[in-house]
Amino acid sequence: VGEGSVIFPNTFITGKTKIGKNVVIEMGAQIIDSIVEDNARVLAYSILEGAYLRTKAAAGPFARLRPGADIGPEAKIGNFVEIKKSVLDRGVKVSHLSYVGDAFIGEETNIGCGFITCNYDGVQKHITKIGKNCFIGSDSHTVAPVEIGNDCFVASSSTITKNMPDGSFAISRGQQ
């Protein structure tokens, strides 16, 4: 545990875990075999297992970072978000109520509430790639394998099943 870090009560830090300098770990957090870099924050009741939380990134409250979650510098993982075997670049925001599995998300991309990577077809796992500076609207899904380029916009409540080139816009909704 690095100098200046604050660890609140009822926190569990186990396995081969490393905590950097000036880290804040709020109460009820569980950190197992993970790395938390300098100036990062693990908010209340979050679980990190085999995860990497980079400099100035934040996770929680109630976030779950599963094995292979690599959260980039200054990224934000919010409440009730689960990340598994995914790399999120600098400044990515997945603020609430989302699942990101088997994905790569480029820097400064914003993921809206209720986003899901549909990565399992019943037999094997597939990859979702989302470029940098994208906006993914709330209640959207990607059905992997799929790639979204840089600077793309996905409208809320859309299910993305086809690749999107850089700078494109997608909307997919049934009629009301």
Which residue among the candidates 96, 98, 144, 160 is catalytic per the annotation?
96
pLDDT for the residue 174: 78
pLDDT for the residue 102: 98
Based on the residue annotation, tell me whether 96 is a catalytic residue of this protein: yes
Predicted confidence band of residue 142 (pLDDT cuts 50, 70, 90): very high
What's the pLDDT tens digit per position in 106-140? 999 999 999 999 999 999 999 999 999 999 999 99
In whole angstroms, give the CA distance from residue 146 to residue 51. 24
- CA nearest neighbour of 141 among 125, 162, 123: 162
E strands in 15-115: 18-19, 24-25, 30-32, 35-36, 41-42, 47-49, 52-53, 58-59, 64-65, 70-71, 76-84, 87-88, 93-101, 103-105, 110-111
pTM to 2 decimals?
0.96
What's the pLDDT tens digit per position in 50-107? 999 999 999 999 999 999 999 999 999 999 999 999 999 999 999 999 999 999 999 9
pLDDT for the residue 110: 98
